[in-house]
Structure 1
């Protein structure tokens, strides 16, 4: 198998502010794997929080490319990948597995969700993120999104003054009274303030809260969840399978991102672990193109909460094929991941 690595800049349509940072752009490093005239694609994006920079991602993907060249076909490589990861960051393993699944699906004439055990193409109402901004701006955005068909809105929180977060949620609730509301402080609340704030947001009709307090104390998060009036979803405290094992049955949900757990296979193992424990699955993402989001969309039938809007935050998405503009993401029934490169990528030599 032959591999190629490329970098694309992803610029956001507008800055996204969360409790710990503001994002305006990031790089997507893509891996293409070719075998007998067919191509499979995967993507990993840079992230300061996860320590993923462009140079290191290139190094890891080139190393993975050399390893993949040893295998006769993607199916053999996938079997080896489940036994031994790339040795690199989980996000790199996820990109490699996604490219191999895309290629294997095209070879078999099957969409990826069928390779992963689903008989029909998953669809899901995705949350759409509203960053930390003024109440007026948040309300205007909520009005527009509700008009487009979004039924789930995720409001970022963790402002220095919690009253700002409360005002923002009130404004969003007034602008989109029928929307389901999720709240995400990204660990921005203190352990002292969190119990009181959970109660106040419950009164505003928030459905669930992601990672209310700083990561690093999963026992504290579990104790908070036990007395919370709202479902508490672990995110930054639930990275690996072992993290999920420690929290299963002790929090209300776990946000599984393929980039942090290591790919679709790892996500399925976590889903199996927490099934029946009282902890539900949330599928999340980083800001990425449709290529980077697509593997999770093929798993969307397993999740109670779906937050796969990373491609919708971009000024220009270099891939298409998973929808989302109307509030619903849809896995393609076409072989592989079912995504297609933009004309610009096609002109640069990227094959579907």
Structure 2
């Protein structure tokens, strides 16, 4: 198979601030694989967790390095290819782009959308949340109004973990609640709290009817999760603490669910393994995203019927997304009926 690697830059309508910083623009990587006159597409978006950031340059370099080694393989050989990528230590986002492209190729080869190929039910897809980043109370109100004006939003996911402390978090969340009193709320601290602050905030958020709290403690402090779970009235989900299915057994007794992202897991193959592993341990699952375009989020949407919660909103916040695919309808992100991912290149210039 032939592999083509190119980059494209996307800009956010609203810059997103979390506990670790602010993002307004990203340069993502578009991977195309071709075999037998069929082309499969995948995407890698940069992200940073801990001390091993996966930058655009690192992802692109890894893909260009491995592309010649994979020419002798067929897109149907996902397992042997994965063994090659794992042996070489290819970054997970680069693996994700290749894995998604091979799945897209397969779907086009058999002329079925992936959700149907897997026997899933589109009607089981739950609404997605849309994200409000860390801001002043007034700024957060404005972001809530912005989302309400141009999307059929049902759920707001509010980023907390303000460097100014939990008092600032509380003021911001109360402001957003006043602005959108009829919406459901999730909270993501992105590891921005200490254990004592996390306990206090979980009690505070439970009183406000928040559904769950995601990544309350920093990655590397998983030893404190059992104590937090003991005192928290809210379900605890982990994101940065959980990359692949191998992480789940160690977390199963101290969390209620895991956030699965294609860039962390290394693609749809591992995401599916994570779903089954989480279910085996009685955990809930959600699918999230980084600064992904419609391409990667449509790939995640193919698995969406398996999720309890969805946070696939990054492409909705782009002003220059070069792709079309899954559609936003009634607050949901729904894959279409086209073969493979069902993603097409749009009029925007990548």
Task: Indicate yes or no: 2:119 matched with 1:134.
Answer: no
1:81 corresponds in structure 2 to: 81
Task: Indicate yes or no: 2:225 matched with 1:221.
Answer: yes
Point out the more displaced range, 273-282 or 178-187: 273-282
2:37 corresponds in structure 1 to: 37
Question: Helix, strand or coil for the counterpart of 1:226?
Answer: helix
Distance in 1 (CA, whole Å) between partners of 2:81 and 2:299 is: 16
Distance in 2 (CA, whole Å) between partners of 1:344 and 1:263 is: 26
String of CA shifts for 1:136-183, please: whole Å, max 9, x gaps: 232233244345321111001011221221122112222222211011
| Conserved? CA contact 2:126–2:308, under 8 Å | no
Distance in 2 (CA, whole Å) between partners of 1:325 and 1:158 is: 31
String of CA shifts for 1:73-100, please: whole Å, max 9, x gaps: 311x223235554530111111101001
Distance in 1 (CA, whole Å) between partners of 2:5 and 2:44 is: 11
1:280 corresponds in structure 2 to: 284
Task: Indicate yes or no: 2:168 matched with 1:168.
Answer: no
1:109 corresponds in structure 2 to: 111
Question: Helix, strand or coil for the counterpart of 2:219?
Answer: coil
1:5 corresponds in structure 2 to: 5
Task: Indicate yes or no: 2:154 matched with 1:151.
Answer: yes
1:317 corresponds in structure 2 to: 321
| Conserved? CA contact 2:59–2:93, under 8 Å | no
Question: Helix, strand or coil for the counterpart of 1:206?
Answer: coil
2:15 corresponds in structure 1 to: 15
Alignment of 1:187-266 (within 5 A): 187-266=191-270
Question: Helix, strand or coil for the counterpart of 2:103?
Answer: helix
| Conserved? CA contact 2:215–2:236, under 8 Å | yes
Distance in 2 (CA, whole Å) between partners of 1:112 and 1:237 is: 28
1:44: Cα distance to partner? Answer: 0.5
Distance 1:158 1:119, change over 3 A: closer
Question: TM-score normalized by structure 2?
Answer: 0.92
Question: TM-score normalized by structure 1?
Answer: 0.92
Point out the more displaced range, 210-219 or 100-109: 210-219
Question: Helix, strand or coil for the counterpart of 2:195?
Answer: coil
Distance 1:107 1:184, change over 3 A: same
| Conserved? CA contact 2:122–2:305, under 8 Å | no
Question: Helix, strand or coil for the counterpart of 1:243?
Answer: helix
Distance in 2 (CA, whole Å) between partners of 1:55 and 1:213 is: 29
Question: Helix, strand or coil for the counterpart of 2:33?
Answer: strand
Query: Over aligned residue pairs, what C-alpha RMSD do you find?
Result: 1.9
Distance 1:224 1:145, change over 3 A: same
Distance 1:120 1:329, change over 3 A: closer
| Conserved? CA contact 2:127–2:333, under 8 Å | yes
Distance 1:247 1:117, change over 3 A: farther
Question: Helix, strand or coil for the counterpart of 1:207?
Answer: coil
1:9: Cα distance to partner? Answer: 0.9
Match of 1:98 among 91, 97, 100: 100
Distance in 1 (CA, whole Å) between partners of 2:122 and 2:212 is: 28
Distance 1:122 1:6, change over 3 A: farther
Question: Helix, strand or coil for the counterpart of 1:22?
Answer: strand
